[in-house]
Amino acid sequence: MNFKEELEKRTCRAEQVIRKYLPAEEGFSKNLIKAMNYSMEAGGKRLRPVFLGEMYHIFGGQEELAEPFMAAIEMIHTHSLIHDDLPAIDNDEYRRGKKTTHIVFGESAAILAGDALLNYAYETALKGFSLAKNAREMERTAKALQILAKKTGIRGMLGGQSVDVENDGRPLKRELLDYIYVNKTSALIEASLMAGAVLAGAEELKEIETMGRYIGLAFQIQDDILDVTGDQEELGKPVGSDEKNHKTTYVTLEGMEKAGQEVERLTGEALELLSGFPGDKEFLRELFLFLCTRRK
């Protein structure tokens, strides 16, 4: 398997699915929709929809049932990025190599675009019911929606973001930093893997959730490392933003060497869990390893 070719193929597939479900820019609210689509079309790794689609196929999914959820998970993720970049939070001017939404459309439009994307994500995911071919697939769709809602909400991504913002600029202990990472970053990756598997009929949800948690933590710690060692051209956003905003990260708390070791350990734990699942897991295994050494 040529991993780079397979990654490009799956990323392009995710891109096609996302664009298929974007709203038309029309009507009196078309400027809001333009701001939504601007952020969605800015590119990125499309990691979460790729995760979701891959788990769907690993557990035997064959049809289009996962597509609305692939688009929805990226809408939820992009909503969080729009709000993270706002002046009231990180005040960043670039994201994915482009000017951030509030710089292009204004702060009030960016706030509303983020809100609209979060709501539209659920409008999109609900379209899964029209694709379900029988009662069993209807039940799987409902279960995937429950996962999406829980992992996005106050006991998931938004809960983690709130604790992050409340403690902005303050020194954090490891326990609180882990809470932020598990909820702000890992929760949506867990949701991607779990929802994809559930839509295909998987039942090993605890193991999948734990695997997502490990890879989400590894991904976030690697992001901390890149904020120190990367450059803006590679990352598509300013480097050193954590230091600029006086944020406690795994690197500032534990040091660069230990951070790198923790990324490797967590990735190894995720791979061990992955090995116990059915289906062709080679691509997902290589993707986990790639995330451990990525430069972007």
Q: Confidence band (pLDDT; 50, 70, 90) for 96?
A: confident
pLDDT digits (tens, 9 = 90+) for 104-145: 999 999 999 999 999 999 999 999 999 999 999 999 999 999
Give domain limits for the chain. 3-293
What's the average model confidence in pLDDT over 170-189? Answer: 95
Question: Considering the chain, what is the average pLDDT of its residues?
Answer: 93
Residue 219 corresponds to which amino acid? F
User: To 10 degrees, the CA torsion angle through 74, 77, 79, 81?
Assistant: -130
**Inter-residue contact 6 to 41 (CB < 8 Å):** no
Question: What is the spatial distance between Cα 73 and Cα 85, in angstroms, rounded to a whole number?
Answer: 19
Distance of CA 36 to the CA centre of its chain: 17
Query: CATH second-level architecture of 3-293?
Result: Orthogonal Bundle (1.10)
Question: What is the spatial distance between Cα 3 and Cα 12, in angstroms, rounded to a whole number?
Answer: 14
What's the average model confidence in pLDDT over 199-226? Answer: 95
